[in-house]
Amino acid sequence: MARYAAIAGTGSYVPETVLTNFDLEKMVDTTDEWIRKRTGIVERRISDGDMATSDLAVRAARQAIKTAEVDPLDVDMIIVGTVTPDTLFPATGCYVQQGIGAKNASAFDLSAACAGFIYGLDLADGMIKSGRYDTILVIGGEVFSNILDWTDRSTCVLFGDGAGAAVLRGTDEPTGIIASYIGSDGDNADIDLLGVPAGGSRLPPSHETIDKKLHSIKMSGREVFKLGVRIMPESAQRVLEQSGLTIDDIDLLIPHQANLRIIEAVGERLGIPREKVYVNVDRYGNTSAATVIIALDEAIREGRAKQGDNILLVTFGAGLTWGSTLLKL
């Protein structure tokens, strides 16, 4: 009998500290008007002092586990999509395991930038379908504020911190992940396009890397914009084809929340009405791997995503990496 990976519960957490566009006006040469017009972002959340990615992820995970009514000891695997791990190693997944008391799980991190959560869903889907695992916690979590150059107006206004989590459970019912697709393009693994140059084995930390601010995110915004607008609709189309559904069957589209103009362009290219497109980039900015799962969790809690609905998640990020998931809630 075919196995499916159902979404048993979701959770999310964003830090309490709000950084508005007006706050940023005092930090760099920017304006609230520019940021709103070019990105749709009004404010974002910033992690307080010593809070790392696992601290946000644990809070989101606890909520997801509670909603799913799952005992942490029944979690078989923890996958954390992140490019801002607490430490290079141990994995952030292991800190989350400790934080939620999931003693029987295997835990690891998945590096696929903004596509990290969708990659995690794809992996979990395969693991559950194979019959080897039954209950998998997939998390997208980031503390981007710690890898931003707060003097670079072209990047520091765009990102925020947050985490989201989903518990996936095996079922014989045709529900949960209906179709899934992930892709990448190493020809665009270009540090100038989007990435953090230093801190890895290529360019280990030194006084020079710190002086040159090479531990912060670098991005060619305009190029990334064009790639996102092209790749996301193509990726979404792949899962629609896989599932035999059309865009008219979709109740809610949750695109990666990087920029309102990208979100609108993706919606238009897919031909879905605006009211079926979920947007929270205005409140959180781009939380990288966390955007789509924070949005899904909010949509469920607000009643915008209901049981039986077809939800289309689509994302895109550095690597390049991208992916789409078609869910039946």
Name the residues annotated as catalytic: 114, 256, 286
Nearer to ligand UT7 by Cβ, of 38 and 301: the residue is 38
**123 and 296 Cβ atoms separated by less than 8 Å:** no
Nearer to ligand UT7, 169 or 218 (CB): 218
Beta bridge partners of 44: 19
Neighbours of 69 (CB within 10 A): 9
Q: Which is nearer to ligand UT7, 212 or 226 (CB)?
A: 226
Applying CB under 6 A, does 224 fall inside the site for ligand UT7?
yes
Rg, Å, the chain Cα set: 19
Q: Does 157 bind ligand UT7 (CB under 6 A)?
A: yes
Helix 32-39 × helix 260-270 angle, to 10°: 20
Comparing C-alpha atoms, which of 157, 168, 139, 150 is closest to residue 4? Answer: 168
Alpha-carbon 122 to chain mean position: 13
Q: Is 151 exposed, middle or buried (0-12, 13-18, 19+ CB in 10 A)?
A: exposed
Decide: is 320 part of the binding site for ligand UT7 (CB under 6 A).
no
* Choice from 21, 39, 216, 310 touching ligand UT7 (CB under 6 A): 39
Least separation, in Å, of the C-beta of 67 and ligand UT7? 27
- CA-based max dimension of the chain: 60
Interface region with ligand UT7, contact rule CB under 6 A, candidates 68-76, 179-187, 207-215, 256-264 = 256-264
Interface with ligand UT7 by CB under 6 A: which range of 4-12, 34-42, 103-111, 265-273? 34-42
Name the site residues for ligand UT7 (rule: CB under 6 A).
Answer: 30, 34-35, 38-39, 114, 153-154, 157, 194, 221-222, 224-225, 228, 258-259, 262, 286, 317
